[in-house]
Chains A and B, each alone.
Chain A
Amino acid sequence: MKRVTVFSVAAIVIALWGSAWAGSYEGRRILWVESYHEGFAWSDGVARGVAKILDGSGAQLKVVRMDTKRNSSPDHARKAAQDAMQVAREFDPEVVMASEDNAQRYFVVPFLKGGDIPVVASGINWDASEYGYPAPNVTGMVEVNLLGEARSVLRKFARGDRTGFVAADTESERKNLEIYNARDFKGSLDGFLVSRFAEFGAAFEEVQARSDMLIMGGNGGIEGWDDAAAREFLLGHTRVPTGSFDDYLAPYVIFTFAKDPEEQGEWMAAAALRVLDGESPAAIPMVENRRVRLIVNLKLARAAGIVLPVSILKTATIIGRDEN
């Protein structure tokens, strides 16, 4: 009887606490400094994740968008950071959320890091140490490509373990290649970086010839990129399972292991609430994203002679099915 009573009381307390929690952040101030702009797919995804957590919490959210995607100059970024800081002074936030690298670089690091305002960051590409994170008042989620998951899937359809990498010959792709080799491939990833579109086909063929599966990096730096030609080329020449980590590369590979921006938003908002609950950012460990959104290019798969199982077909986002 006594235990039943204790359980009943505990249940009532939990229920009351839960109902109270829903509105326990009423009036608490959160400032979100976002690097890009509204309408940008990634930013909108992060915003959905934030809204999923904060909606109904009662917290007062103020959003400052630095718009550094459309205005990529450092000056603009610095100006936007100063404006954001002005807003922060006026808003007097209890915690600041900062998403993507520009917000860290131009806003958090110059104005907030080491200060009294707690900061929760997200979308930090690969390495947070670049910004001195974690800091006493800063924690966050690092944005990484999920190499392990990608290799696992590709391996099911490959003949062996050899993996090749094709991407534009840019600093960031070189950095990616370096990171991939460092983190997962232990230097075995055979990379081929191209500068011009004319080189792309040969490079792809060569990498494909030397590999059992292929990862395609960003093509943003390939001069003269002809999208239609590229698609037609890949449709006719893809013979091994290919994969990428960015949505925009989905037309060019069979598997796209896209990161989920909502995961970033959800984690960042949840961590901000923990800070509002009294936790120190230093006590909240920095994490990496774990969620992956698989996109399958069915047209390329069939062209490559890869027969996908129903289990992938029913969970993945299928593109290229119209042309079957």
Chain B
Amino acid sequence: MGLKFRVNLTGFILVAFITLSVSGLAVWTIDRLSLSLNHRLLTKELDEYDGKIAEAVDVLRENGLSGVREYVDRAKADLVADFARRADGMFGALTIVSTGGEVVYHKGAGSGRALELACLPGMVAAGEGEMDCVMGDELRFCRYALFPEWDWVVLVSVSAEEMLQTRNQFLWRVAIVFSLASVLGWWLFVRMSQGVIDPVLKLSAAAADIGRGSWETLPEPLARADEIGELSRNFVLMGGKLREAQADLTSQADCLRRANARLEAEVAERFRAEKDLRKVTAAFEGILDSMPSLVIGVNIDCQITHWNRAARDLTGMEPQSVIGRPLHEAVPRLSGLVDIVRRSMAEGSPARLDRVSYSHEGEQRQEDILIFPLVSEATYGAVIRLDDVTERVRLEEMMIQSEKMNSLGGLAAGMAHEINSPLAGIGTNAFNIKNRIFGDLEKNEAAARECGVSLAGVRAYATKREIPKMADFIAEAGERASKIVANMLKFSRSAESALAPQDMARLLDATLELLAGDYDVRKWLDFGSVRIVREFQEDMPQVLSEGSEMQQVFFNLFKNGVQAMALKEYSEGGPCFVVRLREDEGAACIEIEDNGPGMPEEIRRRAFEPFFTTTPVGQGTGLGLSVSYFIVTRQHGGTMEVQSAPGEGTKFIIRLPMSPDVARGA
């Protein structure tokens, strides 16, 4: 259904609706008001007649002519003639009768003719008013007025039919007028709507053509001065501009298409690059994450930007909880590193810190720290790599220690072998000296005699000169040296002794008991005041070892700890040994830890060296720890290490293989 048809139909419906509504209202109103209107019309007409009659009467009266018959008659005649001329245009029929019933004027009847007017007496009596009155043979509604001066009763009347006829005529006229008005209104609506719709339809068709891409059918702009004309002109203008715009758009679309192609290629390239970059980044992240080292990236403000998996595993902190935070807040133990990092970034040169010690869960650990500044055109920062080298250091130390001890042990053993023979000669000769002077040997008597001296005199002389004492001193010194040599010989001796399963706990307890009664120990410290904490694994299996040797080892370690704790002044608590025994990865792990003053690193590193001692000369041989070391390592195939730091006590850790094969192999 087209717009034009819809508008015309709408106009028709609208006009019809208005017409019907107004007609209905008019009919209703006319029906209601026609009677009143007729009455008022009659009243008006009667008033008009009355006015003219009264005026004539007044004029005659004013001029003193009221009683002048010819003037009165002239006035009456003039009025009747005037009324008669106007009778056709009046609604009610005019009737003028004398009070005696003589007709002066009656529409349709000549004056002087008798008119049956039954209600005339009532009219004369009332003077004026309205009533239904039979006039002739017809009932009519009358309005009337009496003019006594002229003996006139003037009445205007209509019949019931005329009343309705009037209404019906009115209605017919209304109907005709409304019908014509409706047709005219609809015709005007159509004409007026055409003036709006036709241009709009043309514009719509042109717009449709434009929509189909046809730009050649733009309509001519209308010359009208109204909004439609303006719309037309604007449409044509717009169409022209659209045509230009489309041309531009086409051109731009081509450019855009080419640009898009380039862009797509660039995007694809970029996508590939990003993909590669993601791969590289992932690889990089993977590399970083796969690195055992703790890798931390920081920006120029030393705020953490990278946090690899090792960092997460080792610190237990997730990346999201540390990234963005200042390094010293996230990893307080690295707070001392911030200045170094800043300096490294400022100088653009890497920095390296080896074997930096730190305490982790009560354990002293070492780590190497490498700081690589990241310096580029736009990005400044640094990568901090931390490698826990505790085990490596320990192994290195152990290897060094082992090599060193092996060298020293070999040297000592060699020296012992070399010294052993002279010592044997010294001891033997010292014994022979004493025996050849004071021994009851015939050869002594014979030799004295041969020399011409008495043996008693020689003995007296020797005694006087304390030669026996010297010989004893030589022998004692030789024996002492022999013991030393014997210990030194242990350095080179392999595990040749018979190993038997030993209850290490028992050995440790026995050693502690022995220690309590040791004189040397008591010289240093009241062992009873030392608190002993035992942390022994309950189901600890027996360990294949040489019991006395291991007991000597434990003794040496406890004695060394007692000597150390004796040098410390305890403000609270007091000296304490913590002795631990547990099975750990196929080895028996024995830890003896004291809370003494601890050792500086340079001392700790040399603790197991033979003859290295911190005690005054004569108070120790410096062989206790080295002998213990060789017992553990050589005779038992185990390991022994010491952990210590000043103020933190000292802990000796011994690992003895549970399996002899392993032990031997080791």
Those of A31-80 within 8 Å (CB) of chain B = none
Flag if B70 contacts A310 (CB, 8 Å): no
Given the contacts A309-B75, A311-B78, A298 and B70 also touching, CB distance less than 8 Å? no
List residues of chain A with CB within 8 A of the CB of B56: 310
Flag if A324 contacts B70 (CB, 8 Å): no
Bound CA–CA A322/B62 (angstroms): 10
Flag if A298 contacts B74 (CB, 8 Å): no
Flag if B64 contacts A307 (CB, 8 Å): no
List residues of chain A with CB within 8 A of the CB of B70: 307
Residue in A311, A313, A322 whose CB lies within 8 Å of B60: A313
User: CB of B25 within 8 A of chain A?
Assistant: no
> Nearest B residue to A318 by beta-carbon distance?
B63
> What 0/1 pattern do residues 280 to 324 of A give for CB contact below 8 A with B?
000000000000000000100010000111110110001001101
List residues of chain B with CB within 8 A of the CB of A321: 63-64
Flag if A310 contacts B64 (CB, 8 Å): no
Given the contacts A307-B70, A307-B71, A307-B74, A313 and B64 also touching, CB distance less than 8 Å? no
Measured between C-beta atoms, what is the minimum distance from B363 to chain A in Å? 98
Those of B58-73 within 8 Å (CB) of chain A = 59-60, 63-65, 68, 70-71
Bound CA–CA A313/B70 (angstroms): 14
> What 0/1 pattern do residues 12 to 28 of A give for CB contact below 8 A with B?
00000000000000000
Bound CA–CA A206/B78 (angstroms): 34
Those of B39-64 within 8 Å (CB) of chain A = 55-56, 59-60, 63-64
List residues of chain A with CB within 8 A of the CB of B63: 298, 313, 318, 321, 324
Measured between C-beta atoms, what is the minimum distance from A309 to chain B in Å? 5
Bound CA–CA A318/B65 (angstroms): 12
Measured between C-beta atoms, what is the minimum distance from B277 to chain A in Å? 70
> Nearest A residue to B76 by beta-carbon distance?
A310
Flag if A324 contacts B65 (CB, 8 Å): yes
Measured between C-beta atoms, what is the minimum distance from B173 to chain A in Å? 30
Residue in A302, A307, A314, A322 whose CB lies within 8 Å of B59: A314
> What 0/1 pattern do residues 609 to 652 of B give for CB contact below 8 A with A?
00000000000000000000000000000000000000000000
List residues of chain B with CB within 8 A of the CB of A318: 63
Residue in A309, A311, A314, A324 whose CB lies within 8 Å of B64: A324
List residues of chain B with CB within 8 A of the CB of A310: 55-56, 59-60, 74-75, 78-79
Measured between C-beta atoms, what is the minimum distance from B326 to chain A in Å? 75
List residues of chain B with CB within 8 A of the CB of A322: 64
Those of B74-104 within 8 Å (CB) of chain A = 74-75, 78-79
Measured between C-beta atoms, what is the minimum distance from B108 to chain A in Å? 26
Measured between C-beta atoms, what is the minimum distance from A323 to chain B in Å? 9
Measured between C-beta atoms, what is the minimum distance from B233 to chain A in Å? 19
Measured between C-beta atoms, what is the minimum distance from A312 to chain B in Å? 9
Bound CA–CA A33/B75 (angstroms): 48
Those of B143-201 within 8 Å (CB) of chain A = none
Measured between C-beta atoms, what is the minimum distance from A79 to chain B in Å? 49
Bound CA–CA A231/B55 (angstroms): 31
Residue in A298, A302, A314, A324 whose CB lies within 8 Å of B55: A314
List residues of chain B with CB within 8 A of the CB of A324: 63-65, 68
Measured between C-beta atoms, what is the minimum distance from B551 to chain A in Å? 126
Measured between C-beta atoms, what is the minimum distance from B129 to chain A in Å? 27
Flag if A308 contacts B55 (CB, 8 Å): no
List residues of chain A with CB within 8 A of the CB of B59: 310, 313-314
Measured between C-beta atoms, what is the minimum distance from A160 to chain B in Å? 21
Bound CA–CA A225/B505 (angstroms): 190
> What 0/1 pattern do residues 305 to 321 of B give for CB contact below 8 A with A?
00000000000000000
Measured between C-beta atoms, what is the minimum distance from B51 to chain A in Å? 12
List residues of chain B with CB within 8 A of the CB of A308: 71, 74
List residues of chain A with CB within 8 A of the CB of B64: 321-322, 324
List residues of chain A with CB within 8 A of the CB of B68: 302, 324
Bound CA–CA A237/B79 (angstroms): 31
Bound CA–CA A220/B286 (angstroms): 149
Measured between C-beta atoms, what is the minimum distance from B55 to chain A in Å? 7
List residues of chain A with CB within 8 A of the CB of B55: 310, 314
Measured between C-beta atoms, what is the minimum distance from A167 to chain B in Å? 29
Bound CA–CA A309/B81 (angstroms): 12
Bound CA–CA A314/B52 (angstroms): 12
Bound CA–CA A167/B2 (angstroms): 91
Bound CA–CA A322/B65 (angstroms): 11
Bound CA–CA A307/B64 (angstroms): 13
Given the contacts A314-B55, A314-B59, A309 and B65 also touching, CB distance less than 8 Å? no
Measured between C-beta atoms, what is the minimum distance from A5 to chain B in Å? 15
Bound CA–CA A321/B60 (angstroms): 11
Measured between C-beta atoms, what is the minimum distance from B107 to chain A in Å? 22
> Nearest A residue to B70 by beta-carbon distance?
A307
List residues of chain B with CB within 8 A of the CB of A309: 74-75, 78
Closest 10 CB pairs of A and B: A324-B64, A310-B56, A314-B59, A307-B74, A310-B75, A313-B59, A307-B70, A310-B59, A321-B63, A309-B78
9 A-B residue pairs with CB within 8 Å: A302-B68, A308-B74, A310-B56, A310-B60, A313-B65, A321-B63, A322-B64, A324-B65, A324-B68
For the complex with contacts A298-B63, A310-B55, A310-B75, 7 further pairs of A-B residues with Cβ separation under 8 Å are A307-B71, A309-B74, A309-B75, A310-B74, A313-B60, A314-B55, A321-B63
